[in-house]
Amino acid sequence: MRVFNTIALLATTVFAHKSFQNADPLWYSDANRTCRHEAKITSPFWLHRWIGTYYNGTIEVTVDLQSDGLCGNQRTHFNETYTGVLSLLDVGQNPDHDYGIIFVNPFFFLLDGWAPNTTQTSLLANLTSPSYLPPAVKLEMESVMNFREQSADFLPWDLQPDLLWPTWEVANTNISTASGYNFICYYREDLFDSSQFSLPISTCNHSNTEPFVARNGRNLDGNRDDLRGTFNEKSADFEWTSKFYGCFTTDPPKQHSTYYCSDGVEETGTFTMKFKGNVDAENSHQMVLGPGNNISWVEDVKKTNVTNFCTGALNVTQNVTQNEEAWV
């Protein structure tokens, strides 16, 4: 377990939430516009901004590199371990289908991972485009398309329906008293997934490794990828199995981006990704399981006020303090 000094902002003034930010005249103020623009680069709250449950844990990635333009079909096998946070998030009370979204899942998630020896300073570094993440983040799995980029300047309690384009459809859900919420889902051929991860691997059994960025290749021929998960108010276990394609590159994972290999060689293979973690009570909102297979959250207004990067423009006074928090 690694201990980080994380920045906690304590709201001293609580204000009523607006149902939609464009109805708030402050949304168009110069101060608000400025802070929203800056937040895409400097916001320290990229990880815990949204209403939902956060789990601190470990991500185990196993990669089999099957197709190599330099080595034929020689098979190479790699393992990598990341420290990470699974964000299991609320889709809102009344998901809207007016934007052409054919369905809305009962929740959505983000999974972010970084090397176990990553420092607090690195995780609070400026965000980079087009990933909208600190450079230290090496893994970003999303269940909605390009969420990090599209949501950067929205308020924590005002997720817009046009942001929730899904990359997969939740199915086979059930809630048990023993394990909590269980589900299985398969990636649909008519949906797009920009999830990516970076890890050091080598080809042709070379002793030297190079940075490799892989993208979920759910649309590759013969792929039977799926995601299985179990979670409750205390812990979560997720597992992906899928194909990937990617390149050797020093670029970070990106949003809505296809890599063009400088040497013209695109590698393909399969990966298995397993997350196991425990709830981060300090940053999470109350999860409600049921009735039936429903899931919802009770918002903690103080927490959403704290992580709102535009609180200054919305007349909320805050103080910065140092707080000790354990990130597994």
Q: What is the spatial distance between Cα 2 and Cα 120, in angstroms, rounded to a whole number?
A: 10
How many domains does the chain divide into? 1
Segments of the chain scoring below 70 in pLDDT: 1-44, 67-75, 93-103, 130, 149-164, 187-192, 203-208, 217-225, 254-265, 305-328
Enter the tokens of residue 94: 């009344």
Assign 306 to helix, strand or coil. Answer: helix
Assign 207 to helix, strand or coil. Answer: coil
Residue 315: predicted pLDDT: 42
Of 3, 5, 11, nearest to 300 by C-alpha is: 11
- The answer to whether the beta carbons of residues 285 and 307 sit under 8 Å apart is no
Residue 18: predicted pLDDT: 37
Cα 4–Cα 10–Cα 14 angle in degrees, nearest 5: 150
Q: What is the spatial distance between Cα 270 and Cα 217, in angstroms, rounded to a whole number?
A: 9
Residue 313: predicted pLDDT: 40
* Dihedral Cα 106, 161, 22, 36, nearest 10 deg: 80
Residue 12: predicted pLDDT: 25
Q: What is the spatial distance between Cα 268 and Cα 139, in angstroms, rounded to a whole number?
A: 18
pTM of the full structure: 0.79
The range of the structural domain enclosing residue 154 comes to 2-327
Residue with tokens 């979670």: 231
Residue 201: predicted pLDDT: 78
Q: What is the spatial distance between Cα 37 and Cα 42, in angstroms, rounded to a whole number?
A: 9
* DSSP-derived secondary structure letter, 44: S
Q: What is the spatial distance between Cα 23 and Cα 15, in angstroms, rounded to a whole number?
A: 15
- Non-local CB neighbours of 291 within 8 Å, separated by 6+ positions: none
Q: What is the spatial distance between Cα 50 and Cα 90, in angstroms, rounded to a whole number?
A: 8
Residue 317: predicted pLDDT: 32
Of 116, 135, 115, 113, nearest to 124 by C-alpha is: 135
